[in-house]
């Protein structure tokens, strides 16, 4: 009897131990997923881009004793906000920390510690461009219904492109190209024409989307410019979120000193992301704010400053002069302006082109962030910008949330814009 009891108890013990082990193994398998793609350090070719580091794991946590990485901690231990002349310190910041905590170059041991993942789910173009696809779908339906490629078919295509906000000049250029292609390849069906349109659009939109970084030892500055309400501050917040998630210490500079609310809005985003935050007084010198942000980012080893700017001043000339000055100041070592990103609201249509010309003349735009694509039926503005100005679209806003800013992908965009049957 006693022997039987001992045997039963031993069996129960074995089952419990084996079950516990399986659970632990299961828990290990359920590690969080890798982070979203981000173009800054990824190759342009192909759709899959290498992630910086699995964001399902925590950013490196420093421990004394062994060498650490060149970049500072990410969201779990964000870089502390800097304290330049006019500054507001984020509530979560605490007191200033030694630079070694921002940039653990020598000494500390690095350990990957799993924490709650800060994964940003990347929205798909297809899911967010429904309005634009619906408009082009209706327009192209007429073209598809035709039996041959006659003048009326060409007229139908022209109307569809103009209505989608591709713009007269770009539309004419596209039609010329497609006529030549139709002749050369002997295209006779309207559906073949739409296929050729797909390719022509992708070719025009495909550009360099990488966000460039400064040389070793300098602090990268990305300047965000554009008229009021296009989404500059929101975009900076989203970029800060992405970069911090990827382990890059960020400082955001509230260079829109025209409205106090702009700095407060940016401060909220900095709190969400853990990025450092620098602001000035209302009506103060935005150049000084950006200068301070660079100085303090550099002193703490934070590699990236995202500078907000005003979208409206008393006159347009004032605004452009101010932006030129901000750029000059930000570009003084240790600062290095590697991107001037013009933010354009896709819902403003052709007006965006006019803005793009003005800003490009004043500050030399290096890339476009096209926001609110989720809210427009006229996605063709992207083609007009890329085609007429030759400025690559680098990022697009597909919504208001932190995850809704994605690297531009010409093929994915065009596939989302043109209905399947087209």
Which positions touch ligand GDP (CB under 6 A)? 226, 228-234, 311, 343, 371-372, 374-375, 397-400, 404
Select the binding partner of residue 37 from Mg ion, ligand GDP, none (C-beta < 5 to 8 A, by kind). none
Beta bridge partners of 220: 304, 336
Single residue of 143, 194, 251, 262 touching Mg ion by CB under 5 A: 262
Residue 340 vs 383, nearer CB to Mg ion: 340
- Is there binding between residue 233 and Mg ion (CB under 5 A)? yes
Contact call for residues 140 and 193 (beta carbons, < 8 A): no
- DSSP H or E stretch at residue 141: helix 130-144
- Is there binding between residue 227 and Mg ion (CB under 5 A)? no
Buried b (16+ CB within 10 A) or exposed e, 187-225: beebeebbebbbebbbebbbbebbbbbbeeebbbbbbbb
- DSSP H or E stretch at residue 340: strand 335-345
* Closest CB 380 distance from Mg ion, rounded Å: 26
DSSP state of 295: H
Residue 130 vs 283, nearer CB to Mg ion: 283
206: which residues sit within 8 A by CB, 6+ positions away?
410, 411
* Closest CB 238 distance from ligand GDP, rounded Å: 8
Residue 338 vs 348, nearer CB to ligand GDP: 348
Residue 80 vs 355, nearer CB to Mg ion: 355
Select the binding partner of residue 139 from Mg ion, ligand GDP, none (C-beta < 5 to 8 A, by kind). none
* Closest CB 160 distance from ligand GDP, rounded Å: 24
Residue 188 vs 228, nearer CB to ligand GDP: 228
* Closest CB 399 distance from ligand GDP, rounded Å: 5
Q: Segment contacting Mg ion (CB under 5 A): 31-39, 42-50, 207-215, 231-239?
A: 231-239
Select the binding partner of residue 229 from Mg ion, ligand GDP, none (C-beta < 5 to 8 A, by kind). ligand GDP
Closest residue by beta carbon to Mg ion = 233
Distance CA 229, CA 345 (A): 8
Distance CA 76, CA 244 (A): 9
CB atoms near residue 291 (< 10 Å): 20
Residue 75 vs 226, nearer CB to Mg ion: 226
* Closest CB 396 distance from ligand GDP, rounded Å: 7
Distance CA 356, CA 389 (A): 8
Select the binding partner of residue 160 from Mg ion, ligand GDP, none (C-beta < 5 to 8 A, by kind). none
Q: Is the dihedral of CA 379, 384, 387, 393 positive or negative?
A: negative
What's the number of CA atoms in the CB half-sphere (13 Å) around residue 237? 22
* Closest CB 130 distance from ligand GDP, rounded Å: 13
* Closest CB 258 distance from Mg ion, rounded Å: 9
Scan for tokens 């193994």, then name that residue: 25
- Residue ranges that bind Mg ion, judged by CB under 5 A: 232-233, 262
């Amino acid at each position: 009897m006693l022997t039987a009891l001992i045997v039963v108890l031993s069996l129960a013990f074995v089952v419990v131990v084996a079950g516990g082990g399986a659970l632990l193994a299961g828990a290990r398998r359920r590690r969080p997923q890798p982070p979203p793609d981000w173009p800054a350090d990824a190759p342009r070719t192909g759709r899959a881009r290498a992630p910086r580091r699995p964001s399902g794991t925590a950013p490196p946590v420093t421990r004394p004793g062994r060498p650490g990485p060149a970049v500072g901690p990410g969201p779990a231990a964000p870089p502390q906000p800097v304290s330049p002349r006019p500054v507001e310190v984020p509530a979560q910041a605490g007191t200033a920390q030694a630079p070694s905590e921002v940039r653990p170059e020598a000494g500390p041991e690095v350990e990957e510690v799993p924490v709650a993942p800060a994964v940003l789910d990347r929205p798909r173009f297809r899911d967010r461009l429904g309005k634009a696809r619906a408009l082009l779908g209706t327009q192209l339906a007429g073209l598809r219904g035709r039996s041959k490629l006659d003048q009326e078919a060409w007229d139908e295509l022209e109307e569809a492109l103009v209505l989608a906000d591709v713009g007269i000049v770009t539309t004419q250029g596209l039609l010329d190209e497609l006529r030549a292609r139709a002749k050369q390849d002997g295209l006779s069906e309207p559906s073949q024409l739409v296929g050729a349109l797909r390719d022509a659009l992708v070719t025009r939109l495909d550009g360099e989307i990488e966000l460039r970084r400064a040389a070793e030892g300098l602090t990268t500055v990305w300047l965000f410019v554009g008229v009021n309400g296009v989404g500059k501050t929101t975009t900076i917040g989203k970029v800060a979120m992405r970069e911090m998630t990827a382990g890059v210490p960020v400082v955001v500079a509230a260079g829109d000193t025209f409205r106090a609310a702009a700095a407060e809005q940016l401060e909220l985003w900095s709190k969400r992301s853990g990025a450092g935050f620098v602001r000035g007084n209302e009506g103060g010198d935005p150049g000084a704010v950006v200068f301070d942000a660079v100085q303090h980012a550099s002193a703490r080893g934070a590699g990236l400053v995202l500078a907000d700017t005003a979208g409206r001043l008393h006159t347009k000339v004032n605004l452009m002069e101010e932006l030129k000055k901000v750029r000059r100041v930000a570009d003084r070592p240790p600062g290095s302006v590697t991107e001037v990103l013009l933010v354009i609201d896709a819902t403003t249509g052709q007006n965006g082109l006019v803005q793009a010309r003005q800003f490009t003349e004043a500050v030399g735009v290096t890339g476009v962030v096209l926001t609110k694509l989720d809210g427009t039926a006229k996605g063709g503005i992207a083609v007009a910008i890329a085609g007429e100005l030759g400025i690559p679209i680098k990022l697009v806003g597909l919504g208001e949330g932190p995850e809704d800013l994605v690297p531009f992908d010409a093929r994915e965009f065009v596939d989302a814009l043109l209905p399947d049957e087209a």
